[in-house]
Amino acid sequence: MSTANLTRAETAARSAAVTVLSYRVELDISGAPDNSEPGFATSTTVEFDSGTSETWIDFLGPEVRSVTVNGEAVDIEFDGARIALRGLRASNTVVIAAVGAYSRSGEGLHRFHDPVDGRTYLYTQYEPSDARRVFACFEQPDMKAPFTFVVTAPAGWEVVSNRPAALHHVDDTRQVVEFSPTLPISTYITAIVAGPYHRVESIWSRDDLTVPIGVLCRASLAQYLDADAIVEVTKQGLDFFAEHFDYPYPWGKYDQVFVPEYNLGAMENPGCVTFTEAYVFRGAATAAQYEGRANTILHEMAHMWFGDLVTMVWWDDLWLKESFADFMGALAS
Ligand SMILES: [Zn+2]
């Protein structure tokens, strides 16, 4: 069996032995517009407590350049899917520098060159286990941790993640965006979106809570984006869930991005939901199409609480979050 296959039994043993405290993930996608660049530099710094002296961390990519365990560079034991970690202590800091590959399959960090204007768009898609195509991580839903993403990208691009930007440095050609740390979340709902996306903004507020709303699509589709209708459903949904869940929206902001070449309808990344571009209607749309889009917006929004804040331990309980989001999405619709 390939070591890329993660089993329920071995991941349960890993989460019983290892408690992740934090991740800092640094990605350099500044070369993405150049199609002759197949990959990007990726660095993970992960802090964790361990009750075992050895385990593994997941990574799917062309190259691991260095592995540092508690300040010491160690031999790289990488079989193409797993990096062995040995000599662990009760508390550990591991740094892994590697090269990831841009994807065209919708798995990991997808790269799209727009044939309309030649511009480049990136987004991530990880469920169930493709975060490891972008950064080294313990790839299983029950090993939640706060993530801090730091992205180096071409200047002038929108760079979006689960949280708002905390620090932003720009020079003539490049920008470095450091995002605020997330709440503890699973790897499969972390997200990065980057490119010259068109962006429309609004704000939802209720009581003491203010949530900035963003609606994004590629520039060449901007003329078709009916952002007002999308924002209206979004605000109605936030009202509905605020009343029905009795738990304030926990993710700070709510960006919804319509992305090219998407394999699925939408994905509930907290604060950074991705949707298929098929929901940007380029001609007259039927009532059923508007209803279908509203239902998807509300399904993903229900996941902000059920799926994202509360998450199944392993994929055999995926039905819990999906059936509940389907129910709440339909009820909200
Ligand atoms: Zn769902």
Q: Mind listing the pLDDT tens digit for each residue in 250-276?
A: 999 999 999 999 999 999 999 999 999
Q: Which of 127, 139, 158, 300 is catalytic?
A: 300
Instruction: State residue 1's pLDDT score.
Output: 64
Domains, the chain, in order of start with CATH, read: 8-188 (2.60.40.1730), 198-332 (1.10.390.10)
Instruction: State residue 124's pLDDT score.
Output: 98
Tell me how far the alpha carbon of residue 33 lies from the centroid of ligand 1, in angstroms. 31
Tell me how far the alpha carbon of residue 201 lies from the centroid of ligand 1, in angstroms. 24
Tell me how far the alpha carbon of residue 299 lies from the centroid of ligand 1, in angstroms. 6
| Residues pairing with 103 in the sheet | 110
How far, in whole angstroms, is CA 203 from its chain's centroid?
A: 22
Span 182-192, average pLDDT: 98
* Strand residue runs (E) in the chain: 18-28, 39-50, 55-58, 63-69, 72-74, 82-85, 91-101, 108-113, 120-125, 147-154, 158-161, 165-170, 174-179, 192-195, 198-206, 209-217, 254-259, 266-267, 272-276
The overall average pLDDT reported for the chain is: 97
d(CA 182, CA 233): 25
Instruction: State residue 214's pLDDT score.
Output: 98
Quick check: is 178 catalytic?
A: no
Q: For the CA atoms of the chain, what is the radius of gyration?
A: 20
Tell me how far the alpha carbon of residue 306 lies from the centroid of ligand 1, in angstroms. 9
Tell me how far the alpha carbon of residue 156 lies from the centroid of ligand 1, in angstroms. 32
Tell me how far the alpha carbon of residue 58 lies from the centroid of ligand 1, in angstroms. 25
Span 303-317, average pLDDT: 97
Tell me how far the alpha carbon of residue 304 lies from the centroid of ligand 1, in angstroms. 10
- The answer on pLDDT for 2 being more than 90 is no
Span 170-196, average pLDDT: 97
pLDDT tens figures, 198-233? 999 999 999 999 999 999 999 999 999 999 999 999
Tell me how far the alpha carbon of residue 275 lies from the centroid of ligand 1, in angstroms. 12
Q: Which residue has the tokens 């069996």?
A: 1
- Going by pLDDT thresholds of 50, 70 and 90, the confidence category of residue 106 is very high
pLDDT tens figures, 16-66? 999 999 999 999 999 999 999 999 999 999 999 999 999 999 999 999 999
Instruction: State residue 195's pLDDT score.
Output: 98
Instruction: State residue 204's pLDDT score.
Output: 98
d(CA 54, CA 234): 46
Tell me how far the alpha carbon of residue 323 lies from the centroid of ligand 1, in angstroms. 8
d(CA 43, CA 97): 4
Instruction: State residue 142's pLDDT score.
Output: 98
Tell me how far the alpha carbon of residue 227 lies from the centroid of ligand 1, in angstroms. 22
Span 115-121, average pLDDT: 98
d(CA 137, CA 83): 10
